[in-house]
Structures are given as C-alpha cells and as structure tokens.
A and B are shown apart, each in its own frame.
Chain A
Amino acid sequence: MDEKEKINLGEALKQFYSDEPLKINLAASVADKVFAKQKTSATFADKWVFYLVVAAAITLLIFLFRYLLLLNISPALLLLTLPVLGYYWLSAKEVSVLSHKYMQLG
C-alpha cells in the first residue's frame, strides 16, 4: 500500500501559506512618504537660508554703492552690470538642474 507523503506543520506552512499581497508597493509608498516629509522640513530650513542670503546681498549692495560714490564712479554702471550677471547665473543654474535630471533618467 502506498504510504502518503507527510510533512510537519511548520514545513507545510512555509511551503504553502502566503498572505494575500497588498495592493500597493509598500516599500516604495512608505519611502515616498517618509522622504517627502524630510524634503518639506529641508525646504523650511532653506527658506531661512534664503532670507539670510537676501539680507546679506542687500547690505553688500548698499556698501558697494557707497564705495562707488566715494570713488566718483556712477552707480548706474553697477545697475547695468548686476542684471547681466544675474542672467548668466540663472542660466548656469538651469543648465545644472537639467543635466542632473537627465543623469537621473539615464
């Protein structure tokens, strides 16, 4: 007579039991939530850094104007130079953001 193959409870559960899977990718969704929270708090810190940099820039400008006036150079020269420098700085920043994005996609 054929003896039926038997396994113990532990082995049977390991081999055949499985929970109904979740409908979401748990690891990715929790990581998104956790790391998005971190990003929000970093943005808050960034705001303070931004305010400090703006205050420092305004102070620097005032000193520059005073210095130029002392040297009898028209402050208008500075007013012309600043937007040009600003334009180049923003362009460089955009290029770096785009290249970073493409590298991530790649």
Chain B
Amino acid sequence: MDRNIDDRLLVRQVLSGNRKAFEQLVRQYEGLVLHIVTPIIGHTADREDICQDIFIKVYEKLETFQFRSKLSTWIGNIAYNTSINFLQKRKNILMGDLFSEQPGVDFSEETFNADEILIEKENTKLLLMAVDRLPGIQKSILLLFHMDELSLEEISQLMEIPVNTVKSHLFRARKSLKEMLTA
C-alpha cells in the first residue's frame, strides 16, 4: 500500500482515539526520531524523556496536521525543534554555529552525486566509528538521507534550513567519512 495512504489511515485511527494505532505510529517513526535526537543530544539519559515529549507533542498537534507535507517530515520537524530547544536551554548553543555554510564549495548536482563512497564490507566497523565521530547535525542529515531515504528538500523542510545548507552538511559529512576511512 502507498505509504501516504497508509499514514492517512493511521492518523484517522489515532484521531478517533485508537491506542493501538497510536502505538503503531510511534513504532513506525521511532527510528526516524532517534536519527534526529541521538546525534543532537547524544547518548544521554535525557534521550528517553525527549523522545516521549516529541510523541506527546505529535499526538497533541495531530489534529492540525493537514498532509501538506509527508507525515515523516512533520514528525521530524517536531523532533528536531524539540531537540534544538532542549540543547539551547542546556548549553546556550548559538544556531549560527550549528548551521554555518562552508564558503567556496560548489554544490552543483554533479559535484554532489559524484561524491559516492564505496566501502569494503570488512571496513564497516571503521565506518560506524567514523559516523559516530561526525558533528551532530552532519550525522543526523547523513542518517536521514541514507537510512530514512528523505530527500534533500524534505530534510531542508524538517530542519527549516536552505537546501544548499543541507547539501553542504551532507557533502562535508561524506568528505569526512572518506578521509577517516582512507587515513
């Protein structure tokens, strides 16, 4: 079944007060939420509370969701804003520092697509270590793009940043991975 139709049905069931449908929604998007929360917050004890907080917000705001975007993008946006708000409260991080674009890099489609990395299967442990060393935002974008198969535009909507900034982070993440794997 088409994922979007699936989501519409699921949302309708949740709004009618179906607890099982809500649990299914949480299970369906738990992975996506973790790909946003964990790189930003880290493996702290707060992760559980933040994830719970995110899905409570999802439930409370679900009535206002009009399917103008994909459900995954909408939930991801809530997850991202909740994580950033948490960080700002805790660490007083400036948003400009998190999203500064690297000047002088051409992110044309050719440059971007050419940057494909091939990994030897026996080097996967090294890859995972390298992924864990990436800065939070880069890691999150990398996981959303490759694992959750979100498009650059969807990630840009989700994080409320320009598409070029998303490309820039992804480009830098891949470049760092390549360097760490060949070092």
Contact = CB atoms under 8 A, between A and B. Distances in A.
A8 B52 contact: no
B47 A22 contact: yes
Contact of B119 (A6, A24, A33, A34): A6
Task: Tell which of A9, A13, A20, A23 has the most Cβ of chain B within 10 Å.
Answer: A9
Contacts of B27: 26-27
Main secondary structure, interface of A, reads: helix
Interface residues of A, number: 28
Nearest to A13: B146
A23 B15 CA distance: 28
A19 B38 contact: yes
A83 to B, nearest CB: 38
Contacts of A5: 120-121
A55 to B, nearest CB: 30
Interface string A46-79: 0000000000000000000000000000000000
The prevalent SS among residues of B at the interface is helix
Interface residues of B, number: 37
Contact of B55 (A4, A12, A14, A30): A30
A40 interface: no
A9 B23 contact: no
B56 interface: yes
A26 B119 contact: no
B96 interface: no
Given A9-B174, A20-B43, A26 B26 contact: yes
A1 to B, nearest CB: 14
Interface string B47-78: 11001100110010000000000000000000
Interface stretch (B2-10, B122-130, B156-164): B122-130
A26 B30 contact: yes
Interface in A6-43: 6-10, 12-17, 19-20, 22-24, 26-31, 33-35, 38
Given A5-B121, A9-B117, A13-B131, 4 more contacts: A12-B121, A15-B124, A16-B124, A22-B48
25 contacts: A6-B118, A6-B119, A7-B118, A9-B117, A12-B119, A12-B127, A13-B131, A13-B146, A13-B147, A16-B128, A17-B131, A17-B143, A19-B35, A22-B30, A24-B48, A26-B26, A26-B27, A26-B51, A26-B52, A27-B24, A28-B23, A30-B55, A31-B19, A31-B23, A31-B26
